[in-house]
């Protein structure tokens, strides 16, 4: 039976990926230090004999006994709220954590997939963004801790490929949303959804004219699964090319929730990208016609349903209260 290691396996993306791997008949070892992930995200997987959850800080050491076919490195704070509060942890998991994950893949002769980010493009001067664009990043700005951690991780991944012959792949993931996002993680969609459910003002950064291209998590997982099964090195954009303004996202979320919340504007964070849209022509070619299949309304409706359930449980009120304070631009 094939075996996979998912770092950050109890996080938003890692938990969905672990679920998919089990469905694809992998044994899965999920590694997580629970700084931003939660065991609750994979609670439903713990009954499977093919799933193991291990508390592990990648910066310290990784040891997984037995053969491994696939290492998927998804460990990192990903929300601006998180990486602005955890700048050193974000940089070290991008550097030392990636080094250790690559070392594991080299030892086991595994396929290695790096979860990189559209943030490697920074505030882009080319639009839409293709994989051959080198980006426009402020390395000393507050967002630089995440942007440069991912850029360094990409360079390290390619060094292991060239020097040690590791079968690596780099996925540049664009804004993704869906079930298991934290209500208080500060990104636009969870903030808008929780605010709308509670009847709070929807806090839009700046004038809301900046654009994002958002994809439903199921579409991303399908793309990562196909990418992992290939031998393509990447970088490969995985995102939704449908571009929306942040104000349009807020307005549609409010409508789908059925809320009468007002839209208010808050200061726009430093180095917040003005545009974001992937060119996915390479991914479509390489991954047998892959492209996002879930429409915005469908994906957001599923996400709203999930957030309603979460916010109805004990502790939900506290989480929602913090979401208004912590709302930042994605």
Using an 8 Å Cβ cutoff, are 118 and 276 in contact? yes
Using an 8 Å Cβ cutoff, are 290 and 226 in contact? yes
Residue of 322, 59, 287, 70 lying closest to 190 (CA atoms): 322
DSSP 202: E
Structure tokens at 6: 């998912």
Residue of 191, 208, 190, 201 lying closest to 327 (CA atoms): 191
Question: CA-CA distances (angstroms) from residue 317 to 125, 254, 302, 309?
Answer: 41, 19, 20, 12
Determine the 3-state secondary structure of 147 from DSSP. helix
Structure tokens at 318: 């506290």
Examine the residue annotation and report whether 177 is marked as an active-site residue of this protein.
no
Of the listed 83, 146, 177, 216, which one is catalytic?
A: 146
Residue 167's φ and ψ, nearest 5 degrees, are -80, 90
Question: CA-CA distances (angstroms) from residue 194 to 114, 149, 216, 244?
Answer: 31, 30, 17, 20
Indicate which residues carry an active-site annotation: 146
């Amino acid at each position: 039976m094939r075996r996979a290691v998912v770092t950050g396996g109890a996080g938003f993306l890692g938990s969905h990926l672990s679920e998919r791997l089990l469905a694809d008949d992998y044994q899965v070892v999920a590694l997580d230090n629970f700084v931003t992930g939660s065991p609750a995200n994979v609670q439903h997987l713990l009954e499977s004999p093919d799933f193991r959850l291990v508390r592990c800080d990648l910066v310290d050491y990784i040891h997984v006994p037995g053969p491994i076919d696939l290492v998927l490195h998804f460990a990192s704070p990903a929300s601006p709220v998180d990486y602005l509060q955890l700048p050193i942890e974000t940089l070290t998991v991008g550097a030392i954590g990636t080094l250790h994950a690559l070392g594991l893949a080299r030892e086991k002769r595994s396929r290695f997939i790096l979860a990189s980010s559209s943030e490697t493009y920074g505030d882009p001067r080319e639009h839409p963004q293709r994989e051959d664009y080198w980006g426009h990043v402020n390395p000393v700005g507050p967002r630089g801790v995440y942007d440069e951690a991912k850029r360094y991780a990409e360079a390290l991944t390619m060094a292991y490929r060239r020097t040690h012959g590791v079968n690596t792949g780099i996925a540049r993931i664009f804004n993704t949303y869906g079930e298991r996002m934290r209500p208080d993680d500060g990104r636009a969609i969870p903030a808008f959804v929780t605010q709308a459910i509670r009847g709070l003002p929807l806090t839009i950064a700046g004038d809301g004219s900046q654009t994002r291209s958002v994809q439903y998590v199921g579409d991303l997982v399908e793309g990562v699964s196909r990418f992992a099964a290939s031998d393509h090195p990447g970088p490969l954009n995985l995102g939704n090319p449908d571009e929306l303004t942040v104000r349009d996202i807020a307005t549609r979320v409010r409508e789908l929730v059925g809320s009468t919340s007002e839209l208010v504007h808050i200061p726009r964070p430093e180095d917040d990208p003005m545009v974001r849209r992937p060119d996915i022509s390479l991914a479509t070619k390489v991954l047998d016609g892959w492209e996002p299949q879930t429409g915005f309304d469908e994906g957001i409706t599923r996400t709203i349903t999930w957030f309603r359930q979460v916010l109805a449980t004990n502790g939900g009120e506290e989480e929602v209260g913090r979401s208004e304070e912590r709302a930042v631009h994605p």
